[in-house]
């Protein structure tokens, strides 16, 4: 199961084949993201024709079409794509770092920390920007707390995961308590935010988030070398000129910042960071976790989930966090079936 | 599926027709400029299509001013709120596109959380001018403010005066009871087994039973003995409600009163022993004039029991 | 031997202390001096509080705590997972989702909920083991725990979606997400008794076999133990116990984790001793946490599930730091 531990040494030709395959998969996923993005511009309570959308994108639409397509749907779609990509990449980074297919940032407590920050901001009456920043800070704080409680980078992975789970449980208790005692309206808003904040996205928040991501995503892709080195084991990594402690710290910080930015944009949506790397690895059939594929799949997954959330019971919308949780559960069931067919390979 | 598509196309046709006729309506000089917490707004002098985001306050206000409603959200209208049968209950939390397609020319929305899914006041002006209500001021103040914006102060004045008259009549009828007795309005949470007192000001908000009791000049248990949301646990029933002469028991239809009847610590409260409990059906925690009227009758019935 | 004896003495003193505190403390404090009078018969309000509230609540706390402690001890031994806990393994969340569906959507009563919670707990337990892929070896505990957290996230997400569909339902359901002992013990105890007793008996019957299992699965099998059946039986016992506990009190985390560790520290590794002592310690922990939650911020109550989590999280951090490395 700890796939990163068994990166095989590949011959040149096999490596080229893998590379070609992952390029094809990435291209396909990118097309799918664009396609679904454009298609979902047409989805919603108000019917808008493709021609109208083309006009709106060309900046020629006015009135309700301009409002719905450019002001409401487009920012939401872009936000889902951006946050999904950030989460997908963060999941791949953390799962590599922790050498565990379930070691994603939402499982080890960062989401709970982000939620604590957001609730506290909401209860003190902060505006949307303040809530987003507080959630960013809360996620970072939880991550640093895990890092500090683990005594810096020198702790062994499984302990780090456990400490993450414990810190997450502590923050969750705090969150439950805050929601439990808050006035009804504040509690309702906080609980809704926990399940996804895509509905309330505005251009300003999206712009801030996108700007941070533009810096972080290339940085994440640049971690590729460190990931591969780490996957070979600490000694090997050292001999490749990548001190494992430094590499881990870098991966962790980039992953944490990606998670916090995704939360800033879309709220603490669960399961994207968990599922995307699995799916990406299966699609790309690569040995390690492909970062770009994972990011693209994350984007597609979150956008698809958001479409389901908006449309399944239209005009009512579901919380997107509930949809990702259900789809994530479904994915686990499928994973299990294929595993049972192949026989247990734990 | 085909039927649904056809239906939505028809709805769209109606909505679109209204949308495209909107500029014509705007061209007419029939707008008013008003000043709200959101800044200066132009609202139609005679709104034709009004959406109320919150069923508990905007809906009641719109009905009070006889505004032509095209939909409302949050939760289903209470039975004592006279909503015309053809006014639909919209998606909750509100769906902006659905509201846009109704082509409203005025929206009423609480300002509790302008960026939230549930009360998206900040995003509504893109659809139509939005007038805020506020949960921290009394229902009369909210009504007066709205009346001022709509240029119909006299309606608000009349409604508030009629209500005050009703309150005064209750006071005269039961003067002794109102002045001498201590009362409480409570809701029972049967799962956590605690009472939530709704006749006192707590962090929960400015609740209607407390507002109407204050209008009557009645005496209620102090908020200092309650939890932050007005909670009273079973073991302090006696301490908090022992001195209370009459209780208004709010029945949410969730089996609360039936469960309460099985609690010996409730049974031994003097007010309960003496049969001075009046049950009022429905969630009347928040609202405006109709809920106030409904609660005034409920308090009236309780004070009648206390006078007897 | 004297060490054992003094441990037992300390434990029983703590036990009695926690019970007394639980009877007297709360939004309304009962004076300690009056306890005997109240117990012997007095029909005032204080006696009613004692008989109708505090004693049933104490009994509920003891039973729920014992069930969680026994469930934790059984699952830790059966899967040889020192991190076994019905909360960490998603079992509590599965049961709690079942209860939200049962009472929130179908308005079911406590008896139906007890069985429904056991059903939800079993599904969650199966899901956790399936997701983790029945792992073996030294990193199995981490895999199971992570799978548990993922299943918990799923259950909470779905539960929250049900709650958020209606703002008025949300006002009520937001209170169920955290475990509390404020329910009516007199009605709940008979309702949860059947699954609870079945689970407890099963756990007790299987305890001696778990000592064999502790030698390692291969050696246990060589000694004639059917490992698969034993583990399946233990899992059944755990879901019955944890399901009953959740149906009565909602999800309470960390008690099932901490109680067996403390039991082993006091009394060694023999499962025949660990099981009852973990149950006893669990009972004390839940009672003490509940009492604490009632006295910290009167007149409001801090639910026991929040108290155990706020105390348990640092304990788990400490446990993780102290645990022997297992790559």
Inform me whether the C-beta atom of residue B37 falls under 8 Å from chain A C-beta atoms: no
The pLDDT assigned to A6 comes to 42
Inform me whether the C-beta atom of residue B258 falls under 8 Å from chain C C-beta atoms: no
Contacts of B95 in chain A (CB under 8 A): 45, 314-317
**Structure tokens given for A319:** 């919380």
Contacts of C83 in chain A (CB under 8 A): 162
Q: Which of C45, C176, C300 sits opposite B191 (nearest CB)?
A: C176
Contacts of A168 in chain C (CB under 8 A): 149
Is the pLDDT confidence value at A153 over 80?
no
Inform me whether the C-beta atom of residue A67 falls under 8 Å from chain B C-beta atoms: yes
The SS3 assignment for A313 reads coil
Inform me whether the C-beta atom of residue B225 falls under 8 Å from chain C C-beta atoms: yes
CB contact under 8 Å between C48 and B265, yes or no, is yes
The rounded percent of chain A whose pLDDT value lies above 70 is 92
C286 near C62, Cβ under 8 Å?
A: yes
| Residue of chain B nearest A201, judged by CA positions | B115
Which chains border B (3 or more CB–CB pairs < 8 Å)? Answer: A, C
A284 near A22, Cβ under 8 Å?
A: yes
Q: Which of C131, C158, C314 sits opposite A322 (nearest CB)?
A: C158
ipTM confidence score: 0.84
The pLDDT assigned to B235 comes to 84
Cα B163 from chain centroid? 15
pLDDT band at B304 (very low <50, low <70, confident <90, very high): very high
CB contact under 8 Å between A169 and C131, yes or no, is no
The pLDDT assigned to A154 comes to 61
**Structure tokens given for A188:** 């309702």
Inform me whether the C-beta atom of residue C265 falls under 8 Å from chain A C-beta atoms: no
User: Of A67-81, B243-257, B272-286, C116-130, where does mean pLDDT reach its minimum?
Assistant: C116-130
The pLDDT assigned to B183 comes to 93
Query: What are phi and psi for residue B96, nearest 5 degrees?
Result: -60, -40
Is the pLDDT confidence value at A140 over 80?
yes
* Dihedral sign from CA coordinates of A42, A48, A52, A57: negative
Inform me whether the C-beta atom of residue A64 falls under 8 Å from chain B C-beta atoms: yes
CB contact under 8 Å between B101 and A46, yes or no, is yes
CB contact under 8 Å between A46 and B95, yes or no, is no
Inform me whether the C-beta atom of residue C147 falls under 8 Å from chain A C-beta atoms: yes
CB contact under 8 Å between A1 and C175, yes or no, is no
DSSP state of A58: T
- The Cβ-side half-sphere exposure at A345, using a 13 Å CA radius, reads 12
Mean pLDDT of A178-182: 84
User: Of A56-60, B210-214, B293-297, C62-66, where does mean pLDDT reach its minimum?
Assistant: A56-60
C232 near C213, Cβ under 8 Å?
A: no
User: Of A68-77, A223-232, B180-189, where does mean pLDDT reach its minimum?
Assistant: A223-232
Inform me whether the C-beta atom of residue C175 falls under 8 Å from chain A C-beta atoms: yes
Is the pLDDT confidence value at B205 over 80?
no
Q: Distance between CA C23 and CA C49 in Å, rounded?
A: 9
The pLDDT assigned to A78 comes to 95
CB contact under 8 Å between B236 and C28, yes or no, is yes
Q: What is the distance between the terminal CA atoms of chain B, rounded to a whole angstrom?
A: 62
User: Of A26-40, A56-70, A218-232, where does mean pLDDT reach its minimum?
Assistant: A218-232
Is the pLDDT confidence value at A46 over 60?
yes
Mutate to test the interface with A, among C154, C169, C257 (most CBs of A within 10 A): C154
Interface of A with B in 215-254 (CB under 8 A): none
pTM of the predicted protein model:
0.86
Query: What are phi and psi for residue B115, nearest 5 degrees?
Result: -105, 10
A250 near A283, Cβ under 8 Å?
A: no
Interface of A with B in 288-307 (CB under 8 A): none
Q: Distance between CA C113 and CA C96 in Å, rounded?
A: 10
A296 near A29, Cβ under 8 Å?
A: yes
CA distance B153 to chain A (A): 29
> What is chain A's mean pLDDT, rounded?
83
Contacts of B118 in chain C (CB under 8 A): 167
Mean pLDDT of B24-32: 62
Strand order in the sheet with B106-110: B69-72, B50-52, B106-110, B130-133
Is the pLDDT confidence value at B306 over 60?
yes
**Blockwise average pLDDT, block size 10, chain C, 327 residues:** 72 84 81 74 77 89 95 88 80 85 74 78 82 68 78 83 79 74 84 91 91 82 81 87 86 88 82 90 92 83 89 83 55
Contacts of B98 in chain A (CB under 8 A): 45-46, 315
| Residue of chain C nearest B238, judged by CA positions | C45
Mutate to test the interface with A, among C134, C153, C165 (most CBs of A within 10 A): C153
pLDDT band at B25 (very low <50, low <70, confident <90, very high): very low
- CB-based contacts of B225: which residues, under 8 Å, 6+ apart? B232, B236, B239, B240, C299
Q: How many CB atoms lie within 10 A of CB A186?
A: 22
Contacts of B128 in chain A (CB under 8 A): none
Inform me whether the C-beta atom of residue C52 falls under 8 Å from chain B C-beta atoms: yes
How much of chain C is helix, strand and coil, in % rounded to 5? 75, 0, 25
The pLDDT assigned to C53 comes to 86
pLDDT in tens, A286-318: 777 788 999 999 999 999 999 999 888 888 888
Interface of A with B in 127-156 (CB under 8 A): 127-128, 131
Is the pLDDT confidence value at B14 over 60?
no
Q: Distance between CA B30 and CA C173 in Å, rounded?
A: 47
| Residue of chain B nearest A189, judged by CA positions | B116
Q: Distance between CA B98 and CA B100 in Å, rounded?
A: 5
CA distance C89 to chain A (A): 12
DSSP state of C49: I
pLDDT in tens, B106-145: 999 999 888 888 899 988 999 999 999 998 899 999 999 9
pLDDT band at A2 (very low <50, low <70, confident <90, very high): very low
A290 near A281, Cβ under 8 Å?
A: yes
Name the more confident of B168 and A235: B168
CB contact under 8 Å between B91 and A315, yes or no, is yes
CB contact under 8 Å between B126 and A67, yes or no, is yes
CB contact under 8 Å between B229 and A183, yes or no, is yes
The pLDDT assigned to A342 comes to 61
Q: Which of B97, B118, B229 sits opposite A188 (nearest CB)?
A: B118
Is the pLDDT confidence value at A208 over 90?
no
**Structure tokens given for C290:** 């509940």
């Amino acid at each position: 199961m700890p796939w990163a531990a068994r990166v095989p040494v590949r011959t040149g030709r096999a490596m080229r084949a893998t590379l070609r395959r992952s390029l094809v998969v990435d291209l396909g996923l990118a097309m799918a993201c664009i396609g679904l993005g454009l298609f979902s511009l047409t989805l919603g309570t108000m019917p808008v024709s493709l021609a109208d959308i083309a006009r709106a994108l060309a900046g020629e639409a006015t009135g309700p079409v301009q409002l719905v397509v450019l002001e409401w749907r487009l920012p939401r779609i872009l936000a889902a794509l951006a946050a999904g990509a950030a989460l997908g990449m963060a999941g791949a980074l953390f799962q590599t770092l922790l050498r565990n297919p379930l070691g994603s940032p939402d499982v080890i407590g960062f989401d709970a920390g982000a939620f604590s920050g957001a609730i506290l901001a909401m209860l003190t009456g902060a505006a949307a920007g303040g809530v987003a920043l507080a959630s960013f800070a809360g996620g970072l704080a939880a991550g640093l707390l895990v890092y500090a409680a683990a005594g810096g980078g020198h702790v062994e992975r499984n302990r780090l995961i456990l400490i993450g789970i414990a810190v997450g449980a502590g923050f969750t208790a705090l969150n439950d308590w805050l929601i439990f005692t808050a006035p009804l309206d504040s509690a309702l808003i906080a609980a809704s935010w926990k399940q996804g904040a895509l509905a309330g996205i505005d251009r300003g928040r999206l712009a801030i988030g996108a700007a941070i991501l533009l810096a972080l995503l290339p940085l994440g892709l640049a971690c590729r070398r460190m990931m591969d080195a780490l996957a070979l084991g600490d000694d090997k990594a050292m001999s490749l000129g990548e001190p494992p402690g430094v590499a881990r710290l870098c991966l962790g910080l980039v992953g944490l910042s990606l998670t916090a930015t995704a939360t800033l944009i879309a709220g603490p949506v669960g399961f994207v960071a968990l599922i995307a790397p699995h799916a990406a690895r299966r699609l790309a059939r690569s040995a390690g976790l492909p970062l770009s594929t994972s990011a693209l799949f994350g984007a597609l997954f979150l956008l698809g989930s958001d479409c389901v959330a908006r449309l399944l019971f239209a005009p009512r919308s579901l919380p997107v966090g509930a949809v990702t949780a259900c789809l994530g559960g479904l994915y686990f069931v499928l994973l299990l079936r294929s595993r049972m067919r192949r026989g247990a390979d734990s | 599926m085909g039927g649904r598509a056809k239906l939505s196309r028809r709805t769209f046709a109606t909505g679109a027709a209204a949308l495209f006729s909107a500029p014509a309506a705007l061209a007419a000089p029939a707008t008013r400029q008003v000043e709200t917490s959101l800044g200066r707004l132009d609202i139609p002098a005679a709104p034709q299509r009004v959406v109320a985001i919150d069923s508990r306050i905007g809906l009641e206000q719109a009905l009070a001013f006889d505004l032509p409603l095209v939909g409302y959200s949050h939760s289903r209208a209470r039975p004592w709120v006279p909503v015309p049968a053809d006014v639909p209950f919209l998606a909750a939390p509100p769906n902006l596109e659905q509201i846009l397609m109704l082509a409203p020319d005025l929206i009423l929305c609480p300002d509790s959380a302008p960026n939230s899914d549930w009360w998206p006041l900040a995003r509504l002006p893109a659809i139509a001018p939005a007038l805020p209500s506020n949960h921290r001021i009394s229902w009369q103040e909210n009504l007066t403010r709205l009346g001022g914006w709509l240029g119909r102060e006299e309606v608000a004045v009349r409604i508030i005066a009629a209500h005050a008259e009703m309150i005064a009549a209750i006071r005269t009828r039961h003067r002794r009871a109102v002045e001498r007795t201590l009362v409480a309005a409570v809701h029972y949470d049967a799962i956590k087994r605690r009472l939530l007192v709704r006749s006192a000001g707590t962090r929960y908000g400015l609740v209607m039973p407390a507002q109407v009791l204050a209008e009557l000049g009645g005496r209620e248990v102090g908020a200092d003995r309650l939890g932050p949301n007005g909670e009273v646990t079973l073991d302090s029933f006696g301490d908090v409600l022992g001195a209370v002469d009459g209780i208004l028991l709010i029945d949410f239809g969730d089996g609360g009163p039936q469960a309460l009847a099985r609690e010996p610590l409730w049974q031994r409260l003097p007010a309960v022993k003496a049969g001075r409990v009046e049950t009022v059906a429905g969630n009347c925690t928040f609202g405006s004039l109709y809920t106030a009227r409904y609660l005034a009758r409920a308090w009236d019935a309780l004070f009648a029991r206390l006078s007897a | 031997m004297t060490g054992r004896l003094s441990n037992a003495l300390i434990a029983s003193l703590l036990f009695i202390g926690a019970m007394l505190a639980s009877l007297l403390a709360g939004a309304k404090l009962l004076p300690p001096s009056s306890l005997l009078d109240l117990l012997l018969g007095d029909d005032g309000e204080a006696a009613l509080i004692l008989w109708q509230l505090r004693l049933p609540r104490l009994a509920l706390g003891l039973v729920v705590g014992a069930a969680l402690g026994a469930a934790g001890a059984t699952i830790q031994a059966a899967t040889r997972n020192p991190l076994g806990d019905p909360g960490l393994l998603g079992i509590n969340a599965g049961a709690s989702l079942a209860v939200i569906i049962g009472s929130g959507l179908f308005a079911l009563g406590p008896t139906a909920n007890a069985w429904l919670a056991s059903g939800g707990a079993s599904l969650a337990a199966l899901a956790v083991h399936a997701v983790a892929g029945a792992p073996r070896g030294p990193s199995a505990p981490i895999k199971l725990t992570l799978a548990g957290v993922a299943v918990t996230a799923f259950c909470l997400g779905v539960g929250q979606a049900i709650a958020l569909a209606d703002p008025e339902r949300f006002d009520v359901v937001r209170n169920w997400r955290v475990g509390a002992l404020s329910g009516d013990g007199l009605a709940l105890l008979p309702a949860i008794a059947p699954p609870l007793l079945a689970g407890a008996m099963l756990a007790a019957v299987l305890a001696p076999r778990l000592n064999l299992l502790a030698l390692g699965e291969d050696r246990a099998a060589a000694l004639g133990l059917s490992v698969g059946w034993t583990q399946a039986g233990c899992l059944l016992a755990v879901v019955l116990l944890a399901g009953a506990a959740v149906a009565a009190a909602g999800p309470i985390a960390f008690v099932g984790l901490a109680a067996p560790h403390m039991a082993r520290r006091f009394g060694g590794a023999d499962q025949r001793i660990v099981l009852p002592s973990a149950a006893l310690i669990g009972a004390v922990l839940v009672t003490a946490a509940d009492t604490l939650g009632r006295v910290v911020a009167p007149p409001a109550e801090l639910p026991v599930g929040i108290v155990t989590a706020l105390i348990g999280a640092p304990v788990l951090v400490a446990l993780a730091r102290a645990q022997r490395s297992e790559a």
